[in-house]
Chains A and B, each alone.
Chain A
Amino acid sequence: MTPRDRRILARVRELLDGGRARGVLDRRDFLRLSTLGVGTAVLSACNSAGPERVQSLLTGVGRFNERVERWLFDRERLDPVSPQLRAAGSRFPAYHVADQTPVWDASTMGEWRLRVEGAVRAPLSLSLAELRALPVVTQRHHHYCVEGWTAVAAFGGVALSTLARMAQPTSDAGYVDFQSFDDGYHESWDTDSALHPQTLIVLAKDGGPLHVDYGAPARLHGPVKLGYKNTKYLTRIVFIPERNGGYWSDRGYEWYGGT
């Protein structure tokens, strides 16, 4: 056992003993647990074709499910939030994958700009002020976390469909990759979901400017995708002809992650 495995085991024990889910950070621990668990299982007892065959069966059914989900998806169907549900406010969980909260430091990194590029006819590079000058909408959204909890927030920002109208994606741009300055975090979406009217480039939350904990200067948020698909600390929006995985999608969660 390497020191890393020992560290993971200690964390696993702590999790099993402590027993409380601590927001999204847990996912990383579960991930470590899974790499350890799968590795150990393959190396020791279950070196037969059995479990692998089950895994490939599960992957196959997953692909089939994605086809069903994309067939069910309706870009016109909105997700209204009941007025009885309160905004989570500061109880809205915050996380990032970098060790420290990613902060855009203009003195070393230059001016922050959001680029819209790839398979587009008119690539964009927008400063925060230029983004704010575009038509800004405010919508109350459900945030559906893959873990099963939900939270409500009022997000203000520019609809991605607005940016797409400006950038004019080509007809082969079936996917969009949302990239960040959070340690390489990105997630790619199908363009159909990205152009849903509630898919926003968020600049404000609950009436105030977007806080660094929640992905400032700009983040992606749309209720049509699970929380992990919504990239924070945005830098680039790249239209692409093929999907490009994503941070959590590459670590075993469903790539589609639709709601």
Chain B
Amino acid sequence: MARRHHPVIRLAHWLSALGLLLMASSGLRIFNAAPHFAPKGEPPFRWWPWEGTPVPAWLTLGGWLGGARHWHFAAMWMVIVAGVLWLGWAFLHGEWRDFTPRRGDARDVIAMLRYYLRLAMQHPRQGKHNALQKYAYLTMLAAAVVAVLSGLAIWKPVTLGWLTDLMGGYALARWWHFLAMLVLMALTAVHVFMVFSTDPYALRAMTTGGYDAERFSPEARNARPFVNLRPAMLPLAAAGAPPPSPSTMETPDDAA
């Protein structure tokens, strides 16, 4: 079985998954200590309609403000290590090319949207990551960069004052930090939904690495959320038999 993801990528993935979860939950507990963005004496913050409303306690980690800060400033190293691993690997091995925007991406995004909206019946063949995935991951990467920079800006607003200025000041840096967290959590939720509803084989690919794209990939299975979860059937490789034509793999059993 072919290896889908290198061990370094798998390690970085699970490290950042756990790290982000700890960061978001402890961060929300820190937020709850002062759940508003406007500085004292300034009018309510314009870009947050729920000024003064804390988030539900069950979403939070740390128990109290000081405890949550200890978690937050410990888990930040997990995220930093994961980020360095992933970025280093992607650049050393050229995987960043999978994520560089290209001409034709818009067409591929539209093709994927048409497929998910059932305007097209065949899963577009776009390789390891389809165009929607590519831009979802790119957005997460950008949000992670914003989260790290804005996080440093509110951790060290004096020592790294230039970064705080870059963010538009302390209150806005806090807002960028919160916004980046929202984007990361929303896309994480979409990612987890798509794994379980459409490509559960990705779970194995991201743990042991094994993945047979010919049988398991969503395009081979013609999979949409909750549709065609079973592996694609391949014709028995009999001696002298003609190579499998695409039509043998395109038997949508949507009704099943």
Contact = CB atoms under 8 A, between A and B. Distances in A.
A34 B40 contact: no
A259 B74 contact: no
Nearest to B75: A61
A62 interface: yes
B41 A152 contact: yes
Nearest to B171: A150
A148 B174 contact: yes
A252 B156 contact: no
B73 to A, nearest CB: 5
A20 interface: yes
B88 interface: no
Contacts of B34: 21, 145, 147-149
Interface string A100-113: 00000000000000
B65 interface: yes
Given A34-B63, A62-B74, A21 B32 contact: yes
Nearest to A87: B41
Contacts of B63: 33-34, 37-38
A151 B157 contact: no
Contacts of A33: 63-64
Contact of A147 (B52, B57, B65, B156): B65
A62 B70 contact: yes
Interface in B179-234: none
A7 interface: no
Given A19-B54, A148-B174, A79 B69 contact: no
A169 interface: no
B33 A259 contact: no
A189 interface: no
Interface residues of A, number: 52
A223 interface: yes
B33 A147 contact: yes
Interface in B135-186: 154, 156-161, 169-171, 174
Contacts of A82: 169
A254 B66 CA distance: 8
Interface in B33-92: 33-36, 39-42, 52-54, 57, 63-67, 69-71, 73-74, 77
A150 B160 CA distance: 16
Contacts of B170: 142, 144, 150
Given A30-B66, A253-B69, 9 more contacts: A21-B34, A58-B70, A61-B77, A69-B159, A77-B161, A147-B65, A253-B65, A253-B66, A259-B159
Interface of B: 30-36, 39-42, 52-54, 57, 63-67, 69-71, 73-74, 77, 154, 156-161, 169-171, 174
Q: Enumerate the 9 nearest inter-chain pairs by beta-carbon distance, A residue then B residue, closest first.
A: A88-B41, A151-B40, A30-B64, A147-B33, A91-B41, A61-B74, A88-B40, A147-B34, A34-B64
